């Protein structure tokens, strides 16, 4: 009898570890070559996706002081579309985007802690929330991979920390219970920028990061490193929820990868997420479809990394091909989400 009871207990624990629980799954939707967003959206939704991301640049929203007239009003478009789809949004409004400063031109030479910069970002926030009265927000990130731009400059970090403390408090006044933070890259967050970012982490409601297990030359690490990496996150930040707001693994052979390796990464990341389910609350996959070569070229120029390996990284992160065919990674994603009840 005791053996049967022990067996049932073990079975129950295994099922519990696989249950999605309160975890939230996010998928960033990119179109296939048919350029049909409805098709891509429905395909993403079929995976159990609960969230997606809307990332916008400060200087593309505020074209001149106080002039909020973006070429395309993605905020209004999102407000009109997503509420009916029962989907929440991770909103990212970038004063920094990885290695690029995205302040309006007249602010570029001012420090982040300058009262004028802080006041203008607050005015930007006022505008943003007038455009999204119906949009459900999962979280709000002030910047993307900010450690890349801030580097190891202590004064820059101190200035950005003071900026973040001010504007994050203001953002919280717009929505009760809104989770506010600032995205860092995994490497910076856990190593080079760990100490420098502590002011921002302390002022954040969650630790927000991007995660791509790559070597410095963009070749891939073994997919199973995710277990140790996620354990390290929890060890460093045991008392704050963790939001992995981008994750991905390219499939390019140029990077030592393959479709099989990419699928193995998806399998491993779900297993590692199960292990750290009490701490990692949100996990996002980037992207649904591979990007077309013209977009890859534009992005590599934007980031100033115009080399073949970086292009291979950007161009093969999708879970499906640009032509609209499943990669093994997409099939793995569907299997892993289904077994957990998404």
Read off the pLDDT of residues 282-301 as tens digits, 9 standing for 90 and up: 999 999 999 999 999 999 99
pLDDT of the residue at 17: 56
For the chain, the domains span 25-339
Alpha helices in the chain (DSSP H): 2-18, 37-45, 58-61, 74-81, 115-131, 146-150, 154-172, 186-187, 198-202, 225-236, 259-275, 293-303, 308-315, 328-339
265 within 8 A of 226, measured Cβ to Cβ:
yes
Per-residue pLDDT of the chain (342 residues; tens, 9 = 90+): 333 323 333 333 344 458 999 999 999 999 999 999 999 999 999 999 999 999 999 999 999 999 999 999 999 999 999 999 999 999 999 999 999 999 999 999 999 999 999 999 999 999 999 999 999 999 999 999 999 999 999 999 999 999 999 999 999 999 999 999 999 999 999 999 999 999 999 999 999 999 999 999 999 999 999 999 999 999 999 999 999 999 999 999 999 999 999 999 999 999 999 999 999 999 999 999 999 999 999 999 999 999 999 999 999 999 999 999 999 999 999 999 999 999
Q: What share of the chain is helix, strand, coil (3-state, %, to 5)?
A: 45, 20, 35
* Overall pTM > 0.85: yes
User: pLDDT at position 79, please?
Assistant: 98
CATH number of 25-339: 3.20.20.80
Q: How many residues does the chain have?
A: 342
The pLDDT assigned to 18 comes to 83
Mean pLDDT of the chain: 94
Question: Smallest Cα–Cα separation from 30: which of 276, 225, 271, 289?
Answer: 289
């Amino acid at each position: 009898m005791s053996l049967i009871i022990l067996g049932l207990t073990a079975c129950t624990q295994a099922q519990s570890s696989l249950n999605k629980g309160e975890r939230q799954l996010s998928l960033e939707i990119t179109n296939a070559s048919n350029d049909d967003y409805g098709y891509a959206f429905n395909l993403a939704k079929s995976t159990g996706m609960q969230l997606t991301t809307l990332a916008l640049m400060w200087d593309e929203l505020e074209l001149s002081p106080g002039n909020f007239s973006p070429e395309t009003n993605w905020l209004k478009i999102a407000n009109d579309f997503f509420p009916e789809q029962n989907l929440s949004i991770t909103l990212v409004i970038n004063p920094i985007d990885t290695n690029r400063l995205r302040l309006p031109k007249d602010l570029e030479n001012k420090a982040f802690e300058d009262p004028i910069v802080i006041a203008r970002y607050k005015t930007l926030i006022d505008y943003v929330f007038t455009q999204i009265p119906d949009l459900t927000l999962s979280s709000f990130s002030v910047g993307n991979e900010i450690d890349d731009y801030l580097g190891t400059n202590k004064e820059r970090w101190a200035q950005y920390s003071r900026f973040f403390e001010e504007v994050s408090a203001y953002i919280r006044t717009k929505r009760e219970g809104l989770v506010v933070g600032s995205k860092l890259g995994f490497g910076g967050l856990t190593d080079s920028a760990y100490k420098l970012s502590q002011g921002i982490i302390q002022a954040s409601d969650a630790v927000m990061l991007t995660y791509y297990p790559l070597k410095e030359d963009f070749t891939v690490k073994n997919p199973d490193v995710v277990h140790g990496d996620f354990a390290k996150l929890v060890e460093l930040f045991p008392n704050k929820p963790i939001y992995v707001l981008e994750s991905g693994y390219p499939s390019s052979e140029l990077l030592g990868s393959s479709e099989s390796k990419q699928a193995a990464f998806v399998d491993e990341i779900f297993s590692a997420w199960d292990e750290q389910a009490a701490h990692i609350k949100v996990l996002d996959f980037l992207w649904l479809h591979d990007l077309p070569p013209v977009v890859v070229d534009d992005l590599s120029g934007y980031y100033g990394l115009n080399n073949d390996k970086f292009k291979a990284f950007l161009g093969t992160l999708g879970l499906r091909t640009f032509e609209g065919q499943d990669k093994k990674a997409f099939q793995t994603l569907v299997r892993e989400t289904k077994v957990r009840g998404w």
